[in-house]
Structures are given as structure tokens and as C-alpha cells.
Structure 1
Amino acid sequence: MDRWDRAGRIAAYAAALALTPYSLIKVSWVVGSLLGLLPVGTGFGRVEWVVLNSATVGMAGIGIAVALALVRPWGMRIPGAPLAFCAWVGTGFLVPVLPYAVLRSLLGSADGNPRGGSDAGPSMPVWEAALVQIGFVGTGLGLAIALPTYLRRRWPDAFVGRLGDGGEGSQRVPPWMAVVGATVGFVWLYWAVGGTAGVAHRGERDVAWHVLSGVFGLWAFVASAATWAAVRGRPAQVPRWGPMVLGWLGSGSLFAWSGWKLPFTLYLAIARPAGAALPENLVLAAVLHLAAVGSGTAMLGALVRTRLVSPNMAAGVVRTPIAPGG
């Protein structure tokens, strides 16, 4: 076991451990609301609140299982496709928001409220909010280290070669995925810098909303550019692992966060609960999230179809396409 494998082993266990308090907190919210011991979140009925937090409990459980699969021997024996998908979603959720966690701690929130986003409970104490934040950051950092070491063991040729050496995918890949992803990123960045077109409730904007919009907008641009470069093979001679990693993280961010926000946005648009509102126009927000999910999925497909090249490329030896189940 070399130093990279040792680092990945420690990081995987740390990621699983960091997410455990978050899972336990969400279980307590579900049980407490069912027993009438804890209030439900603003704008939610009891059923909606239980369903929402039960879903997050399941997501946390999957995240812990994925982290352990990256280090335990059984993780090398299970089918690669579902593990790769869960890892793609998990890293898409957690790694891209690491800059947000840093910026949020530096800037604080406009109202001094330690809670953040729709994931906050109705009366979350400071220590609970700190555990949630530590869980997200710790799991994101852990996966960022553990996942590459796992990929290195299971698919050692995944990032070999340079752009333009003949290992790219089909040149007929349509450009719409990159255009749509960049368009979504442009809208989010426009809102992040203070743009008001498409904003229905300007008073609902706070520092966290601006920072998150900026972070997601930047990752949308990164995903579009990196995936396009990896598939098209330009600019030439750039190490392939760079665009592949950035495309993986950025496309996962588009899919995971918009896939999570879309049902919540549709619920607000249909139910119109009192006391709950998003800054952006709900119809526009739903369209953007749909576009983000679609483009993120298409980017993943393009990266998966990208052909892998062995170190013996100079000898004309070409490896098989990426196959997460391999």
C-alpha cells in the first residue's frame, strides 16, 4: 500500500464518520416531528417535513456506504456502474460547495442566522448547525481524496494520456450540452452579482443565496468547458485527467443540486405555502433546474464514452471505452 492508498483509506473513513452526525440529526427530526416533540419547518406540513427529511436520511446513508465502498475490499467487487453513479452524485453535492463553506464562514449571513438554506431545521441550535456544516465539509474533503485513489485502483487507465493524442470520444457529440450548461451558469452568475431580472422576491436574497448562486454558476461554466475539452481533445497536450476530473465534479454539481432543488421548487410553485418563498421566479427556476439536470446527465454520458488511452499509445495500443461497470 503506497502513500496515496493510505491517504485514501484515511479519507474514506473520515468521510463516513463526518456524515454520521448529520444522519443522526435528521433521524431525530423525523422521529421528533412524528411524536410531536419537535416543530416542522416553516411552510411545510408534517407529512411534507417527514418525507423531506427521510429523503435526506436515505441520502446520508448512501453517502456513508459509498465512502466505505471506496476503501473496503467489497467495494472492489460490487458493480462499478451504481457505485460510480452514487459517487458522481455525492461528489457533485459536496465537493463543489467547499468554496461556499469557506466564503460563508468569512462573509457570514446578512441576518446573522447560523442556519443555511432549506435544510435548516425550524429551531436549529448553533451546535447542531456546526455539526451539519462540519459533516458536509468533512465528507466533501474526504471524498475528494478517497475517490481518486479508488478510481486509480479499479480503473488505472482512466486519466492516462493527453488531449489530442487520439483518446477522445466521438467528434459528433452535439454542442448543446455545453451551451445549455454555460447558459445556466450565466444566469446564476448574473444573479450572484446582483442582477434582478427573473427575481420575484428581492427581499429574500441574502449573502448565502448570492454566494451559492456564484459558486454553482462557476461550476456550470467549468463543467461545460472541461467536458467539451475532454470530448473534443482541445487544447492539445493538456493532461486528460484535468478536464476529466473537472467535468466529473461540475456535471455532478449540475445534476445533484438541481435534481435536489427541482422538487422543492415545484412544491412551492404548486402548493404556494404561506411563509415560504424563493427569491427567483419559480417557473424560471424550474426551467433552469431542468436544464441543469439534463446537461449534467449529458456531460456524464459524454465523459463515460470518452475512450481511454494506455501509456503505450505511442505503440498504437488503445484501451476500451470508460465502463463504470468494468
Structure 2
Amino acid sequence: MAGARASLGGMTTTVFTPLGSAGPGRFRVAVCAATIAACVPYLVLKIAWLSGSTVGWNDAAAARGSALAVGNAVTMGMDAVAVGAALAFTFAWGRRLPAWLVVVPIWFGTGLLAPIVLGVPLGTVLQALIDGTAPVRGSAGGLQGWVYAMVYGGFTCQGLGLLTAFVPYARLRWADVFALRTADVPRGATHAVQAFLAHAAAVPTLAYAALQLVWACGGTAGQPAGEGMNITQRTVAGAYGLLALAGAAGLLAIVHRRGGRLYVPVLAAWTGAGATFAWSLYMLIITVGTPDFLDARSTPLTGLALLCGVLGGLVTGLAGAFFLAERQSARPTASSTP
């Protein structure tokens, strides 16, 4: 709550208003606008492809197909959700939305964008310095190089913008997560379930992370003979692996009440589980649904790793949901708060 002093008939009183009711401020509005602007090129490109255009494609035949059309429609919808999330994080009406309607999309979105933000810019710089080449030479899956630069550049800006908008939103809506120390959080009725899920999730998560880190270090296990990753792809694989480890470690720290401020392991578990689940699910769907588009670059070991990522990320997210729901129910209601 925020207080404002007013004089009534010679008496001074304090009038309390809801925190953030004065408006989002110019900076937050600017962040919202920049995030939406970063979504526009991707949305326009997807609309063009769904309308039959082959702009950005080297092979017009590869641009057509029912599975690809469904994928374009789904990813366009996901980018539209990012626009809605940016607006919800900025304006007061967003704090009145049901928690699940906010948490689920931003968890999945964080998972998709975090490895790109962490891996693509760094990998691009490293590849330019070491190899003297661009991340994409000629084409990627039949696409022209500028599509890669536009799409992943936009994703990086979206990720940074949504993060910048979400932090003040979360501090207003879930202030106790930022105020508490991990060791001070009481163990509720579902703690035993949380601990079981945390340890169960760690096994497939570690398997997924191990393969990603092998690829990041230049290994070719699970890749078709003759195939190899460039430096940018290896950097992104390293981001996948490290985020997966961070997610497992963050959840274990929460259930065992280790560490300092609660928001640190929550952030690690949130981002790591989201990245592990979202990208594994996305790539698993693409691998199963559009094998020709991927030029058969998947192997049984790759599929097994993706399945481990889906299971590990999902179970970690489920355990985190139990924890956050229990914390929410333990918070004092507005009627009992002075």
C-alpha cells in the first residue's frame, strides 16, 4: 500500500491507495512498446507465410505443407500471447487476471526465450571472432540467412523486454517471494510431495543436460554421421544444459530450504524448468511432425534426450506449482491485513 497525507478540518489523516494505482510510468510503457515492436516483424512474417507467400525461403516447395502451416499458426499465436503479456505486465488490469492465466504463458515463454537471449548473441560474437563467419551460411532448413537474423534478433529483444516488464509486476503481485529467506519458509502439507517430485525430476533433467553439454563441448553423440554444430549452435546447446542444471538445483534448494533470498532459487527453478520443458516439447513435436523439414537430423538418442527434457521440465514445474500455490494460500487476505 502507498500512503498520502490529507488535511480534514484541521486534522491530518493518511489515505491508503493500492500500490501501482498511479499508473505504470513512462519507463514501463516504453518497455511495453519496445517489446511489442519486437514482436511485429515475426508476426508479419508468419501472416505472410500463412497467406501463401514464400518470402525468405530458398526453396518454395519447402515452404508449403499442412504440418508447416500448423506450426506457423501455433508460433504466430505464441508471439501474439507475448504481446498480451507485455500489456498485462504494464497496466493495472493485468494484476487482476487469475494467477494461472499469467503464470503458465510467461513460464513457457521464459523457457523459449531464455536460451536464445543467453546463447544466440554470445554465440554469434564467438563465431564471428573465431570462424569469421555468420551463424547461418546460405540457408537454414531452406530459409535465407536474413530470416534467422530477424527472427532471433526479435526473440532476444522480446526476452529482454518481457523480463524487464515482468520483474516489477511480480514484485507487486507476489511481494513475499522477494522478501522471504528460503530457510524461513514453513514446510506445508505438500512438502513431502514437492521433495519427491524434485528428486524424481532431477534424474531425466541431468540426462538431458549431459547430452546438451556434450554437444556444447564439440561432441557428436546423438548426431548423424557427418553432421556437426557451428559455434552458435554449440553455445545455445550449452545454454540449454546449464539452464537445465540450474532448474534442478533451484528446486532442490527450495525443497531443502537452502540458500539466501527465496527469489534466487525460485528464479533458477522457474527459468531452468521452463527452458527444459518448452524447448524439448517444441523440438519433439517438430521432430515427429515434420521430419522432412528437419532433413532427418534427429537420431534415437536425440529423441530420448528431448523426452527426458519434457519429463524433467514438466515435473520440476509441477513441483514449483505446488510450492507457489501453497505460498499463495498462506498469504494473509486483504481483510486480515492492517
Question: TM-score when scaled to structure 2?
Answer: 0.78
Aligned match of 1:215: 239
1:261-318 C-alpha deviation (Å, 9 max, x unpaired): 01111135xxx5388132x52x2222222221222122122222226779xxxxxxx5
Aligned match of 1:24: 44
Aligned match of 1:243: 265
Say if 2:175 is the partner of 1:156.
yes
CA–CA separation in structure 2 for the residues paired with 1:306 and 1:167: 11
CA–CA separation in structure 2 for the residues paired with 1:124 and 1:285: 26
CA–CA separation in structure 2 for the residues paired with 1:136 and 1:260: 16
Structure with the bigger RCO (C-alpha within 8 Å, sep 6+) is 1
When residues 74 and 248 of structure 1 are mapped into structure 2, their CA distance, relative to the original with a 3 A threshold, is same
1:184-238 C-alpha deviation (Å, 9 max, x unpaired): 1111101221223322234243223322211101111011101110122124xx1
Segment of structure 1 superposing worse, 219-228 or 172-181: 172-181
Q: 2:331 is paired with a residue of what secondary structure? A: strand
Aligned match of 1:292: 309
Does structure 2 retain, via aligned residues, the 8 Å contact 1:8–1:150? Answer: no
CA–CA separation in structure 2 for the residues paired with 1:96 and 1:219: 8
State which structure, 1 or 2, has the greater radius of gyration over its C-alpha atoms: 2
How far 1:44 sits from its partner (Å)? 6.4
CA–CA separation in structure 2 for the residues paired with 1:231 and 1:4: 35
Does structure 2 retain, via aligned residues, the 8 Å contact 1:20–1:64? Answer: no
Paired residue type of 2:249: A
CA–CA separation in structure 2 for the residues paired with 1:188 and 1:94: 17
How far 1:84 sits from its partner (Å)? 0.9
Paired residue type of 1:105: T
Does structure 2 retain, via aligned residues, the 8 Å contact 1:189–1:217? Answer: yes
How far 1:239 sits from its partner (Å)? 0.9
Q: 1:70 is paired with a residue of what secondary structure? A: helix
Aligned length: 304
Aligned match of 1:256: 278
Say if 2:189 is the partner of 1:167.
no
Segment of structure 1 superposing worse, 19-28 or 167-176: 167-176
Aligned match of 1:324: none
Aligned match of 1:267: 289
Aligned pairs for 1:97-116 (under 5 A) are 97-108=116-127, 112=133, 115=136
Give identity over the alignment, percent.
Answer: 28
CA–CA separation in structure 2 for the residues paired with 1:42 and 1:208: 28
Does structure 1 retain, via aligned residues, the 8 Å contact 2:38–2:157? Answer: yes
1:62 pairs, out of 81, 95, 98, with 81
Say if 2:296 is the partner of 1:277.
yes
How far 1:108 sits from its partner (Å)? 3.1
Say if 2:322 is the partner of 1:305.
yes
Aligned-residue RMSD, C-alpha: 3.3
Does structure 2 retain, via aligned residues, the 8 Å contact 1:93–1:253? Answer: yes
How far 1:5 sits from its partner (Å)? 6.6
Aligned match of 1:205: 229
Does structure 2 retain, via aligned residues, the 8 Å contact 1:177–1:295? Answer: yes
Paired residue type of 2:264: G
How far 1:11 sits from its partner (Å)? 2.4
CA–CA separation in structure 2 for the residues paired with 1:142 and 1:293: 26
Aligned match of 2:11: none
Q: 1:255 is paired with a residue of what secondary structure? A: helix
Paired residue type of 2:284: L
Q: 1:15 is paired with a residue of what secondary structure? A: helix
Q: 1:276 is paired with a residue of what secondary structure? A: coil
CA–CA separation in structure 1 for the residues paired with 2:289 and 2:165: 36
